[in-house]
Structure 1
Amino acid sequence: MAHTVISAHYPPLIDPTRATLAYGDGALPRLNRELNSDHLKTRQRAIMALSDILHDPEFVDASIREGIVMSLKICLFDSDITVRQKSIECLYIIAWSVGIIEAQLVPILVNNLTTEDDKIKLIILDTLHFCLMVDTTEALNVNAMSVFKKLLVHPFTETRMKAARNIMDLSIPLAGKVKAVEQSVIIPLTLLLSDDDATVRAKAAGALAMITIIKEGKYAAFSAISRLVDLVTDELSEVRLNALKALTCLSEAPEGRRALLVHVKDLEELITDPVPAVGKAAEIAVKVITWLP
């Protein structure tokens, strides 16, 4: 005679760590409520489920309309690291939208860079990167430049790279360039030009290229000329390109032009670089350095 055996295990396609989604339009309102639940397990399941469905662009727009960004803002202060980490991951997915900026999340994210776990810092840096592509004002107002500067000496290679990249983003407007000079960001960026990792060197050179557009930036970065010259033969094309751009900016000052005249022949060889953008940048650099009034 057959006997019914009831297994204690979940069916293979059931994940107990994720909330069961309501049908249709009820999914996001329910998740929004559960994100604000007093029960940790409920919040954890909700944030895991939200992290999954946000990969569908349709849900990103709907979640903003539902007010989920504000709930995620609260979750950033949760006592549970899983909730905080997944909240930042969700915000990272939403980051292309102005919703994060409108929800005034930038100051909170910048502040969390000083307190969060190193792995979470990486997600925050990426999220802020996308926000800075939309607007840098709020980040500048909360002294993000100083926070990014401190991360330039972080032991993690990826953290140093992303901090330098964000400084480059933040230095696009004039106010950011001025702030970078005032915060003495050029010194640690110059040191990163000798970093063992090529991507770190590339972002550091890119940040210097952005900052040295202004006169104050040029004169503060003359000490970086020799290291930048060394980088024009780097194996990574992004490093060569950004180094050439920075040298071009520095050569716009008489002192910079005099220092670079002895390197013109080396730079001329780069005009035939296999990467067209690098060749064009080398051509411009040579023209600026050899310009006569």
Structure 2
Amino acid sequence: MAGVLIDPSRAPVAFGRRAVPQLFGELQQLEADRKQRALASLCDLMHDPEKLYQAVTGGFVEQLEVLFKDEDSSVRTKTCELLHLLTAHSIGRRALLSSALLPPLSQLLDDSSSSCRRNVHRVLNRLARLPAGANALLTLVPKLMLKLRQNDGEEDEEEEEEEEEEEEVQVLRLSTLSCCSRLDALPALASDGVSLLSHKLSHRSTNIRREAAAAMMVLSVPIDGKQQVCEKAVLPVLVGLLQDEDVEVQANAAGTIMNTVIITTGKLQCLDLDVIPVLLGLVSEHAEKQEEEDEEMKRRRKALVIYSLRALTSLAEAPDGRALLLEQLPLLARRSEAPEEDRDIRRAAQTAVRVVTWTP
């Protein structure tokens, strides 16, 4: 027996296990308003794990594909919102990855509705956080990079009220690219990823700078990525980000520098940019601040210090770098010997001291 319709924006919901089949049946109707109400009610139900399990195991998810092409943008938007709720649980993510929905879903990245596009990015980002999801989305990397390029050209023309929404989409896009590139950075590198990301490193939004620097750190892992960071003049921007107001931006920039100074060109460019005093300042600054911070901030600052120490270790392999660091050996020694120091930081500092003091 159907319940009483209280909210006109929702469809009546049947009792118990009849609710999910009934609402998916409503989605087969031609009237857009009936589909909208059914989708709204389904979104409410998907907060219940039992109803979500029923929707996934009952074979209902595949029925959503036809709604991707619905003429009503609100139907397409709400369908993607429903998928986003389904992918909040592992069973929903596995069901979507094993279905045939990903190709038609990815086509909605070009949808005329900004709300629909945003929901698609939310779904893809949740999938990309799984290795299987990142692998499934690797073929989308060139398209995501193209969207990044298009966004660069449109950014100055955005209306003020759309900026916050567009920022969320950019953050999701960059995060998805990072997740996919951790699995395989070559598709992003082949799509001119280093150049495209470098434009985002100076963005006024902290969230965008943070995600762009995180993606750049991933792309700098392969040798081709390190070379591109050097060739495309990204290191001066990264050195500037070491003094960013956001600790995670600093850490991601330090991580990219750490990866890049492994090669000789990276060492020489960073030495020319006088990066050693900046890195030493970050290593010293951590000890003074960590006692007053929460656990999450301590984790971020720990990453920043370890990346900085590892970058200094690589720079010490160059004669000019070793000469500069020998003058600052007491600072490194303190971080390597203090019993109260974090074990990982102490170990990284000990490695730095060994390399700086090494003699043939």
* 2:60 match: secondary structure: helix
Q: Output the TM-score relative to the length of structure 1.
A: 0.91
Q: Quote the residue 2:219 is aligned against.
A: 170
Q: Quote the residue 1:256 is aligned against.
A: 321
- Counterparts of 1:114 and 1:234 in 2: how far apart (Å)? 37
- Counterparts of 2:11 and 2:281 in 1: how far apart (Å)? 57
Q: Quote the residue 2:39 is aligned against.
A: 18
* 2:262 match: secondary structure: coil
| AA aligned opposite 2:281 | D
| AA aligned opposite 1:239 | L
Matched, 1:130 2:197: no
- Counterparts of 1:263 and 1:131 in 2: how far apart (Å)? 39
Higher helix share: 2
- Counterparts of 1:9 and 1:38 in 2: how far apart (Å)? 22
Q: Which runs of 5+ in 1 are unaligned?
A: none
The structure-2 alpha-carbon separation of the partners of 1:7 and 1:266, relative to structure 1 and needing over 3 Å to count, comes to closer
Matched, 1:292 2:313: no
Q: Output the TM-score relative to the length of structure 2.
A: 0.75
Aligned with 1:220 (options 240, 263, 269): 269
Q: Quote the residue 1:276 is aligned against.
A: 343
Deviation at 1:86, TM superposition (A): 0.5
Aligned with 1:150 (options 181, 186, 199): 199
Matched, 1:51 2:61: no
Q: CA RMSD in A?
A: 2.2
- State the Cα deviation string for residues 233-276 of structure 1 (Å, max 9, x = none): 23322221111111111111111111211001111000126211
Aligned with 1:38 (options 55, 59, 71): 71
Q: Quote the residue 2:106 is aligned against.
A: 73
What are the residue-to-residue correspondences of 1:199-218 with 2, within 5 Å? Answer: 199-218=248-267
The structure-2 alpha-carbon separation of the partners of 1:291 and 1:32, relative to structure 1 and needing over 3 Å to count, comes to same
Q: Quote the residue 1:266 is aligned against.
A: 331
The structure-2 alpha-carbon separation of the partners of 1:8 and 1:238, relative to structure 1 and needing over 3 Å to count, comes to closer
- State the Cα deviation string for residues 35-84 of structure 1 (Å, max 9, x = none): 12233222122111111111222222222232221112100000100110
Runs of 4+ in 1 over 3 A off after TM superposition: 5-17, 19-26
- Counterparts of 2:120 and 2:353 in 1: how far apart (Å)? 49
Aligned with 2:230 (options 155, 170, 181): 181
Whether the 8 Å contact between 2:238 and 2:253 is mirrored in structure 1 is yes
Whether the 8 Å contact between 2:97 and 2:136 is mirrored in structure 1 is yes
* 2:329 match: secondary structure: helix
The structure-2 alpha-carbon separation of the partners of 1:121 and 1:8, relative to structure 1 and needing over 3 Å to count, comes to closer
- Counterparts of 2:125 and 2:180 in 1: how far apart (Å)? 9
What are the residue-to-residue correspondences of 1:90-101 with 2, within 5 Å? Answer: 90-95=123-128, 96=130, 97=133, 98-101=135-138
Bigger shift: 263-272 or 6-15? 6-15
- Counterparts of 1:13 and 1:7 in 2: how far apart (Å)? 8
- Counterparts of 1:8 and 1:262 in 2: how far apart (Å)? 72
- Counterparts of 1:32 and 1:9 in 2: how far apart (Å)? 26
Matched, 1:84 2:151: no
Q: Quote the residue 2:62 is aligned against.
A: 29
Percent identity of paired positions between Structure 1 and Structure 2: 28
Q: Quote the residue 1:238 is aligned against.
A: 303
Whether the 8 Å contact between 2:11 and 2:41 is mirrored in structure 1 is no
Whether the 8 Å contact between 1:17 and 1:44 is mirrored in structure 2 is no
Deviation at 1:112, TM superposition (A): 1.9
Deviation at 1:206, TM superposition (A): 0.9
